[in-house]
Each structure stands twice: as C-alpha cells, then as structure tokens.
Amino acid sequence: MTSSVDTGERKEMFGFTARHVKSSTSINSSPNACNPGKMRTELDGWYIDLNVEFNCEMNRPPTMPTSRMPNAGCKDQVKTRREGTAKTGYPLIETMKYYGSDGQLTFAQTKEVIELSRATLESALFDIPNGYTEATNTSELYGALQ
C-alpha cells in the first residue's frame, strides 16, 4: 500500500513555493510467498513544480529485498493499493526511512538541494570527454570499475 498526504504547509525555497508531502509504502507478503517478508519506507519532503527536460522519478513501488533466490517458476501475486493524491514534484529536501521486517529503522537518508540556479549552462559541459568508451551491457560497465 502506498499513501501520500500533502500536509498543507508551504514555504518559500529558492524563489519557489514548496509543499510539504509525507508518503509511505508498505509491502507485506504472505508466509508462502516466493520471497516472504515485509518492509516499510517513509518519505518526508518539500517539493516544487520545476519544469525540466528530464525526470528521475520512477512511479513504481520499491521492490522487496531478498536474501535468497526465488524457487524456479515461483511467481507471487501482487496487489497494490494507493491512498491519497498528494503531488510531489522536484524534491528540494527529502528524507527517506526504511524499516525492516521487525519494524525497526534499518536505513535513513536525507537529500537536500543546497543551490538552485536558473542560469543557462554552457554547451561544452555536455560534450563527450576524450577517451570515453560506451558500455553496451552491465558487465562492461561494472568491469570498468575494477
């Protein structure tokens, strides 16, 4: 289940009116699931409407972390439910908390924009660097890091 609530709070940030939105996602699997377990994430952030050429937001629920591989041919039935219609947008400050199957906080992270400019960037910043080699698959990508 995913729920999102606009708290109604507003504040000026970088010349924009930011809205305070809190959301949570819970995943609860049955004991006979391929990957049994449960987890919960919470997001608490300040968001703005920012018209940009790209969007990194992925509107899908987080996947359940697993400690083992699922049985061959095992396929879980997934049911989703969404509550609330709060709009997020571009995050200026966002805290994510991850709770494990025991309900205890296992991970927390805060991302914060510390500078936001509407200045046009020089096109040279986007030039492909000398010596660049395109990775055609993840093996090539991660092999380059070794």
Helices (H), ranges, the chain? 138-143
Distance CA 109, CA 24 (A): 15
- If you ran DSSP here, which 8-state letter would residue 4 be given? E
Q: 3-state class of 7 per DSSP?
A: strand
- In this structure, the number of other CB atoms found within 10 A of the CB of residue 31 comes to 6
pLDDT at 137: 87
The pLDDT-based confidence of 58 (bands split at 50, 70, 90) is low
The pLDDT-based confidence of 53 (bands split at 50, 70, 90) is low
Distance CA 50, CA 57 (A): 13
pLDDT at 30: 82
Q: Kindly report the pTM of this predicted structure.
A: 0.69
Over the stretch 103-115, which tens digit does the pLDDT of each residue have?
999 999 999 999 9
Distance CA 47, CA 6 (A): 10
Distance CA 10, CA 21 (A): 10
Over the stretch 114-144, which tens digit does the pLDDT of each residue have?
999 888 889 999 999 999 988 888 888 887 5
pLDDT at 85 > cutoff 90: no
Instruction: Name which of 30-44, 54-68, 101-115 the model is least confident about.
Output: 54-68
The pLDDT of 16-34, averaged and rounded, is: 90
Phi and psi, residue 44, nearest 5°: -135, 115
